[in-house]
Amino acid sequence: MAKEDYEVIIGLEVHCELSTKTKIFCSCSTEFGGEPNSHCCPVCMALPGSLPVLNEKVVEYAVKAGLATNCEITKVSKNDRKNYFYPDLPKAYQISQFDLPLCHDGKVNIELENGESKEIRIERIHIEEDSGKLNHDEFGRGSFVDLNRAGVPLIEVVSRPDMRSAEEAENYMRKLKSIFEYIEISDCKMQEGSLRADVNVSVRKKGAEKLGTRTEMKNMSSFRSIVRAIKYESERQIEVIENGGTISQETLRWDDVSRKNFSNER
Ligand SMILES: [Zn+2]
């Protein structure tokens, strides 16, 4: 079968840093940059005994994002702990939302090349805290933790797998960017990581009902690399299937220099 006999299925999880003055659970500044570890306190450093207090503005901005993307706004919401260990997350859990996100069941329209418009459904928008950053020393002396970003508020916008090409995914992300800039909830600076996406890609034979196994590429922060990565990954998957292989569900690391995906497990 040829490439044209396959359909590419794409879903995006877009992370957007909110431009509140202070962090989500403490009064530290959210300003980008600064001396490492100069915008932090016992709460965002997760010292024992410190207690988070939710920033009202974060809820306001997230609800604004929900209304601007035609979501239902939930009346009852809560935060949950997502446990994982990583050196830039001193609590060993991220405060996020699991079963009761602030906003759900939204949609935005994107314009296609042929002039038609297409609806992309949004499953949910939830609030969560950003992690810190690891700076890897170029002389190999180790990695340094900077917690200035720890606790910066984020919304995560989870789409349904409604996109069918790299161009549609780019259009959708550009649409979210313009909406969030217009309602002034984020500066959406991709080069500073304010807007980034986890991209899920799978392929299936045209006409098939069942979705194929998907792979995920995390933290993509430029339109160009998102488009390149989707094209590369969908072609790779088609080739694997055409050669009789199967796709394993995994997280891949896109390398924009070699323009290839690498598996973290292999
Ligand atoms: Zn703090």
Distances (CA, A) of 89 to 44, 157, 232: 9, 21, 32
The backbone torsions φ and ψ at residue 53, rounded to the nearest 5 degrees and listed phi first, read -125, 120
Q: How far is the CA of 189 from the centre of ligand 1 (A)?
A: 22
For tokens 């989870």, name the residue: 158
For tokens 């994107």, name the residue: 110
Distances (CA, A) of 218 to 54, 112, 153, 164, 225: 27, 25, 19, 19, 12
Helix, strand, coil % (nearest 5) of the chain?
A: 20, 35, 45
Kindly report, residue by residue over 116-143, the tens digit of the pLDDT. Answer: 999 999 999 999 999 999 999 888 889 9
Kindly report, residue by residue over 211-245, the tens digit of the pLDDT. Answer: 999 999 999 999 999 999 999 999 999 999 999 99
Kindly report, residue by residue over 247-263, the tens digit of the pLDDT. Answer: 999 998 888 778 788 78
Between vectors from CA 17 to CA 63 and to CA 77, what angle results, nearest 5°? 35
Q: How far is the CA of 37 from the centre of ligand 1 (A)?
A: 10
Q: How far is the CA of 149 from the centre of ligand 1 (A)?
A: 10
Tell me the one-letter amino acid at 2.
Answer: A
Q: How far is the CA of 151 from the centre of ligand 1 (A)?
A: 7
Give the DSSP H/E element, type plus range, for residue 225: helix 223-242
State mean pLDDT over 91-105.
96
Q: 94 with 129: CB under 8 angstroms?
A: yes
Q: How far is the CA of 26 from the centre of ligand 1 (A)?
A: 5
Q: How far is the CA of 148 from the centre of ligand 1 (A)?
A: 8
Q: How far is the CA of 43 from the centre of ligand 1 (A)?
A: 5
State mean pLDDT over 65-92.
95
Q: How far is the CA of 254 from the centre of ligand 1 (A)?
A: 32
In a 3-state reduction of DSSP, which class is residue 189? coil
Q: How far is the CA of 35 from the centre of ligand 1 (A)?
A: 15
Q: How far is the CA of 208 from the centre of ligand 1 (A)?
A: 50
The pLDDT of residue 160 is above 60: yes
CA 241, CA 186: separation in Å to the nearest integer? 41
Q: How far is the CA of 178 from the centre of ligand 1 (A)?
A: 30
**Which token pair is 178?**
């313009």
Q: How far is the CA of 68 from the centre of ligand 1 (A)?
A: 29
Q: How far is the CA of 28 from the centre of ligand 1 (A)?
A: 4
Tell me the one-letter amino acid at 247.
Answer: I
Q: How far is the CA of 13 from the centre of ligand 1 (A)?
A: 26
Give the pLDDT band (50/70/90) at residue 266.
very low
Q: How far is the CA of 157 from the centre of ligand 1 (A)?
A: 25
> Is residue 115 classed exposed, middle or buried when 0-12, 13-18 and 19+ CB atoms within 10 A define those classes?
exposed
- Rounded to 10 degrees, the C-alpha dihedral 144/94/51/102 comes to 140
Q: How far is the CA of 238 from the centre of ligand 1 (A)?
A: 47
> Is residue 11 classed exposed, middle or buried when 0-12, 13-18 and 19+ CB atoms within 10 A define those classes?
buried
Q: How far is the CA of 22 from the centre of ligand 1 (A)?
A: 8
Give the pLDDT band (50/70/90) at residue 264.
low
Query: Any idea which of 29-43, 183-197, 251-265 has the lowest mean pLDDT?
Result: 251-265
Nearest to 125, CA basis, from 101, 108, 141, 142: 101
The pLDDT of residue 1 is above 80: no
